[in-house]
Amino acid sequence: MAATEKRPEIIALSKGLQGIPVCEDYDRMISGMMYNPTIPQLLEARHRCRGLAADYNNLDTKTVTYDKIADVRLELLRKLVGRVGDGTFIEPPFLPDYGSNISIGKDCFFNWNVTILDTSLVVIGDRVQIGTGVSLITAGHDTSILSRRKFVEFGHPIFIEDDCWIGSNVLVLPGVRIGQGCTIGAGSVVTKDIPPFSVAVGAPCRVKKTIQSAEEEEQDPNNEYRNIVREDR
């Protein structure tokens, strides 16, 4: 359902993102209130995103060596999304809606065909890995037919915290927060918040078990990964 008032904390988060279309309907949009997506400022913002996404997705990799591709893609990505940390790489095609409403942390990896419908904010933490065909959908519509005839809609933010793994073809719906260290099984439909350090699967997605934090794993002498040395990229 649509919100009835603005969310100051979401609007404050948006101020740290580059390229946002500053206007009244934008604040309503990211707050989850009904808004008009056809006003010029929002049409222009989506048009800008289409052009920058085309530049990213159509990069001629024959002109870039394998050891430089990550740097080139990161430079293009920083023009496309609101914020992105060092070491993050997204395989094309990557399909955002506004782009500017997306914040991505450091050392993330998204495989190809990730769609982010960022009507509201999509905030992704550090070291998040996302599989092929994943859709993060913040946009929503009322069941009222008249609302569609009037071209009004709303959106609720999505948060994916640090160290999550989102399996292939997962669908994350508006207003969901996936807690730190979660694994979401392939093909899941995430309709509600998932607590930190959970393994969750299904449609709708439900928690099947909880796991240790990374710090707890480091203290476990039987953990097979604790002595692996990570090589810098």
Residue 230 in this model has a pLDDT that exceeds 80: no
| Average confidence (pLDDT) over 115-119 | 97
Q: Which pLDDT band holds residue 231 (cuts at 50, 70, 90)?
A: low
Tell me the pLDDT tens digit for each residue of 165-198: 999 999 999 999 999 999 999 999 999 999 999 9
Strand intervals (E) in 49-186: 83-84, 89-90, 94-96, 102-104, 109-110, 114-117, 122-124, 129-130, 135-137, 139-140, 154-155, 158-160, 165-166, 171-172, 177-178, 183-184
DSSP at 62: G
As given in the structure block, the two tokens for residue 27 are 């604040």
Dmax over CA atoms of the chain, in Å, equals 61
Q: Using H for helix, E for strand and C for coil, what is the string for 206-227?
A: EEEEECCCHHHHHCCCCCCCCC
Which one from 68, 141, 150, 226 is the annotated catalytic residue? Answer: 141
Residue among 140, 141, 136 nearest 123 (CA): 136
Mean pLDDT across the chain: 94
Does residue 115 or residue 153 have the better pLDDT?
Answer: 115
Rounded CA separation 184/84 (Å): 22
Identity of residue 123: V
Sequence-ordered alpha helix ranges (H) in 143-231: 145-149, 214-218
The domain made up of 8-218 has a fold known as: UDP N-Acetylglucosamine Acyltransferase; domain 1 (2.160.10)
Rounded CA separation 82/25 (Å): 18
As given in the structure block, the two tokens for residue 198 are 């959970």
156 is catalytic: no
Regarding pTM above 0.85, the answer is yes
| Average confidence (pLDDT) over 224-232 | 77
Residue 210 in this model has a pLDDT that exceeds 70: yes
Q: Which pLDDT band holds residue 224 (cuts at 50, 70, 90)?
A: confident
| Average confidence (pLDDT) over 102-119 | 98
Report domain extents, the chain. 8-218
The DSSP bridge pattern shows strands 206-210 and 183-184 to be unpaired
As given in the structure block, the two tokens for residue 77 are 């990505």
Q: Which pLDDT band holds residue 232 (cuts at 50, 70, 90)?
A: low
Residue 233 in this model has a pLDDT that exceeds 60: no
Specify whether the CB–CB gap between 207 and 188 falls below 8 A.
Answer: no
